[in-house]
Amino acid sequence: MKTAIVLGATGGTGQVIISELLTRGINVIAFGRSESKLKELMKKNNFNQQLSFKLGDIFDYKTIVEAAKDAEVIFQCANVKYQEMASRLLLLGENVMKAANILQKKIVIVDGIYVYGHQVGNGDENHPKQPHTKKGKLRVAFENLIFSRKWENAKPLIVRLPDYYGPTSQNSYLQPTLEGMAAHKIPIFIGNLKTPREYVYLPDAAKMIVNIAETEDAYRENWNIPGAGLISGKEIINIAREITGNRRVVIPLNKTAIRCIGMFDPFMREVVEIMYLTKEGFVLSGEKYEKRIGSIPATPFTKGLEETLRFLIRNKQ
């Protein structure tokens, strides 16, 4: 891979994939709607000559075609808001796949674990896709669209991440907790503080995603991106307290609390149905990755949380 384009470049996942690609000496085109955000991204990367940007709209396949014509691989990191998912997710998929098909390109789709529903066994790529939520069922329809035979010229693959964290993270469930700790405010924690859950450190995820993208026979398949193991909210808070010195009481938000907040907040209203993950968790298997690609990068939580919190603290000053 000599040149890649990242759709949704200024988002949390887009930024970290761009960093990983640049580290490998790959030319990167950052694609997005906001010129100011893209210019800020250029600045963050010290105006690296291997990084350029193109303005466009993820819902207009023609702008993707124009921007991606010189790229070998398209990384699809753009997403839609929870409250807009029902009306816009499949439209997003239609546009990115139409562009990839016209250009006859490889395309890497970054997605999550809602397709699986409740965990019933080994969390590998063969886990039954029997979601019990609206978002899960929509994500199954999204996968079916991505792998539709009508895109005979495109070569897609899907990578699935659990909840994540990292310096570039923006909309993860752990984000308000870490931001509150870094700002020395009273933090909230979405879900049960005692439940061990899986989180992936975004720089680790980016390494795995790019490794998969560079593997020729990885396409037209699903790939799970596992984290560094399980950790409870209580353990995360204890680590964060040691780093920040913030000893304030953490407020856990259960399903009832989220439902009440959702009466006034459309985003939180949509969070309610997937609160099962904060109670049960879901653990992704990395067996396929280890067998086909190699060892799994797994930054210890103490290190990953320190790097994330130090970044947040610097940005609050």
> What's the rounded mean pLDDT across residues 22-42?
96
**Which residues have CB under 8 Å from 15's CB, separation 6+?**
9, 41, 44, 168
> What's the rounded mean pLDDT across residues 196-221?
97
Looking at the predicted structure, is the pLDDT value of residue 316 above 80? no
pLDDT for the residue numbered 239 = 97
3-class SS at 49? coil
pLDDT for the residue numbered 170 = 86
Which CATH code fits 3-165+199-227+283-294?
A: 3.40.50.720
For 209-263, the pLDDT digits (tens) are 999 999 999 999 999 999 999 999 999 999 999 999 999 999 998 888 888 887 8
The more confident residue out of 102 and 257 is 102
| Model confidence, pTM | 0.94
**Which residues have CB under 8 Å from 291's CB, separation 6+?**
none
pLDDT for the residue numbered 179 = 94
Residue ranges covered by each domain of the chain: 3-165+199-227+283-294
pLDDT for the residue numbered 273 = 83
Give the pLDDT band (50/70/90) at residue 317: low
Q: Where are the beta strands (DSSP E) in the chain?
A: 3-7, 27-32, 51-55, 73-76, 106-111, 155-160, 163-165, 188-190, 197-201, 222-224, 230-231, 251-253
Looking at the predicted structure, is the pLDDT value of residue 52 above 90? yes
Give the pLDDT band (50/70/90) at residue 85: confident
Beta-strand pair 197-201/230-231: antiparallel
3-class SS at 91? helix
CB 5 within 8 A of CB 67: yes
pLDDT for the residue numbered 77 = 97
The more confident residue out of 264 and 110 is 110
For 139-189, the pLDDT digits (tens) are 999 999 999 999 999 999 999 999 999 999 988 889 999 999 999 999 999
CA distance 30 to 55: 8
pLDDT for the residue numbered 149 = 95
Looking at the predicted structure, is the pLDDT value of residue 81 above 90? no
Looking at the predicted structure, is the pLDDT value of residue 275 above 90? no
> What's the rounded mean pLDDT across residues 112-137?
93
